[in-house]
């Protein structure tokens, strides 16, 4: 009897293991019609090696909250609108401490305040096609044009700004996120590799590759969650970046690792954590007959992003309170 029970237990265990191994899911990005709030928090420590052996340390934090409204899925695609609702930034470098918080803009000490305000006023929209491509992006290029009208001194930078933070950047960022998903059904333990190229304007062309693994499939009240572990690299071609006003990026090498949580039932990325380590070399100033000043940077930080269901709720009692979402992570 004991042997029979033991054999039965082993058989059941093997069957359960085989059933789990056969469970495959298709990870396809989509936006179910509705309203969502996305919060991104970034922390970055930067060490800058200056000529003469000097070193400067910089600490940066950034929070950006956006509200996404996804319309019905039509034969021509799905229209999606996005608006920034809260931006908070701080930078500490030596005795210099600058910051910005859209919840209390009168206390702003950041030179980027005009750009942040323009982002908060921008109305961004795009269309997501059935195969996950992005088209008809509007909102950011026109925002930059409005900034130039208000400050004509920015006219010479308009083209660079559009390549860095314009409509095409939205198209590439969303496209790159979709390219990280596997092109076939996967099960727990399966691995895949993705590669993508992005034109980052004044940062040049960046090649991004990731080794991914479906670490687990978890059942939750909000749907089945695919836990994806990833490790990758992002590099730019040396000397290929476009000149920035007063500076030029020479080389950027970035190592990334982290975990993504993807809802296989809704088709949305609900949480992502990316750890970043990067080295960057750039030249400040200089001319055809005068070499510029070379600066090497080492950066280490983390980016957390989460998406919740519901409209953005502005801080009420306390101006600098953290923003709240309209629902649970789904």
Q: What is the pLDDT of residue 70?
A: 94
Q: What is the mean pLDDT of residues 184-199?
A: 89
- 270 found inside a domain: yes
* CATH code: domain of residue 162: 2.30.230
Q: What is the mean pLDDT of residues 242-257?
A: 75
Q: Where are the beta strands (DSSP E) in the chain?
A: 34-49, 55-74, 77-93, 96-101, 124-128, 134-138, 191-199, 205-220, 223-236, 247-263, 268-284, 293-309
Round the average pLDDT of the chain to a whole number and report it: 80
Which of the pair, 165 or 130, is modelled with greater confidence? 130
Residue pLDDT, tens place only, 268-289: 889 999 999 999 887 877 666 6
- 256 found inside a domain: yes
Q: In terms of residue numbers, what domain contains 120? A: 34-309
pLDDT(247) > 70? no
Q: Rounded to an integer, what distance in angstroms lies between the CA atom of residue 121 and that of residue 99?
A: 19
User: Does the model's pTM come out above 0.85?
Assistant: no
Instruction: State which of 35-49, 86-100, 131-145, 159-173 shows the largest mean pLDDT.
Output: 35-49
Which of the pair, 215 or 162, is modelled with greater confidence? 215
Q: Are 254 and 233 in contact (CB under 8 A)?
A: yes
The maximal CA–CA distance of the chain, rounded, in angstroms, is 92
Q: What is the pLDDT of residue 119?
A: 85
- 225 found inside a domain: yes
Helix/strand/coil for 280 = strand
Which of the pair, 236 or 210, is modelled with greater confidence? 210
Q: What is the mean pLDDT of residues 246-259?
A: 84
Q: Are 314 and 289 in contact (CB under 8 A)?
A: no
- 53 found inside a domain: yes
pLDDT(52) > 80? no
| Residue showing tokens 């476009």 | 242
Other CB atoms closer than 10 Å to residue 12's CB: what's the count? 10
User: What is the tally of structural domains in the chain?
Assistant: 1
Cα 28 off chain centre by: 18
pLDDT(176) > 80? no
Q: Are 23 and 17 in contact (CB under 8 A)?
A: no
- 317 found inside a domain: no
Residue pLDDT, tens place only, 15-32: 444 444 457 898 988 889
Q: What is the mean pLDDT of residues 228-234?
A: 95
Q: What is the pLDDT of residue 316?
A: 60
- 244 found inside a domain: yes
Helix/strand/coil for 320 = coil
User: 213 to each of 88, 268, 273, how far by Cα in Å?
Assistant: 33, 18, 15
- 197 found inside a domain: yes
- 14 found inside a domain: no
Lowest mean pLDDT among 110-124, 169-183, 298-312: 169-183
């Amino acid at each position: 009897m004991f042997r029979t029970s033991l054999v039965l237990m082993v058989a059941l265990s093997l069957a359960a293991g085989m059933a789990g191994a056969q469970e495959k899911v298709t990870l396809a990005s989509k936006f179910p019609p509705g309203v969502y709030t996305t919060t991104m928090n970034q922390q970055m420590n930067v060490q800058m090696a200056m000529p003469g052996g000097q070193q400067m340390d910089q600490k940066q934090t950034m929070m950006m909250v956006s509200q996404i409204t996804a319309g019905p899925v039509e034969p021509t695609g799905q229209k999606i609108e996005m608006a920034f609702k809260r931006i908070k930034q701080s930078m500490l470098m030596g005795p210099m401490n600058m910051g910005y918080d859209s919840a209390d803009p009168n206390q702003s000490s950041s030179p980027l305040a005009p750009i942040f305000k323009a982002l908060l006023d921008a109305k961004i929209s795009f269309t997501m096609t059935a195969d996950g491509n992005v088209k008809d992006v509007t909102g950011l290029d026109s925002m930059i044009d409005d900034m130039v009208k208000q400050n004509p001194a920015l006219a010479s930078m308009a083209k660079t700004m559009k390549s860095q933070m314009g409509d095409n950047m939205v198209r590439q960022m969303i496209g790159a996120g979709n390219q990280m998903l596997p092109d076939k059904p996967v099960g727990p333990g399966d691995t895949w590799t993705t590669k993508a190229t992005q034109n980052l304007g004044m940062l040049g062309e960046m090649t991004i590759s990731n080794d991914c693994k479906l670490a687990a499939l978890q059942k939750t009240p909000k749907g089945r969650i695919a836990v994806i572990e990833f490790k990758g690299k992002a590099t730019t071609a040396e000397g290929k970046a476009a000149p920035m006003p007063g500076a030029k990026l020479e080389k950027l090498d970035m190592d990334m690792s982290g975990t993504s949580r993807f809802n296989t039932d809704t088709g949305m990325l609900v949480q992502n954590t990316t750890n970043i380590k990067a080295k960057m070399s750039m030249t400040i100033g200089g001319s055809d007959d005068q070499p510029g000043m070379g600066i090497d940077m080492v950066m280490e930080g983390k980016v957390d992003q989460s998406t919740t269901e519901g409209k953005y709720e502005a801080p009420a009692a306390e101006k600098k309170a953290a923003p709240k979402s309209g629902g649970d992570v789904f």
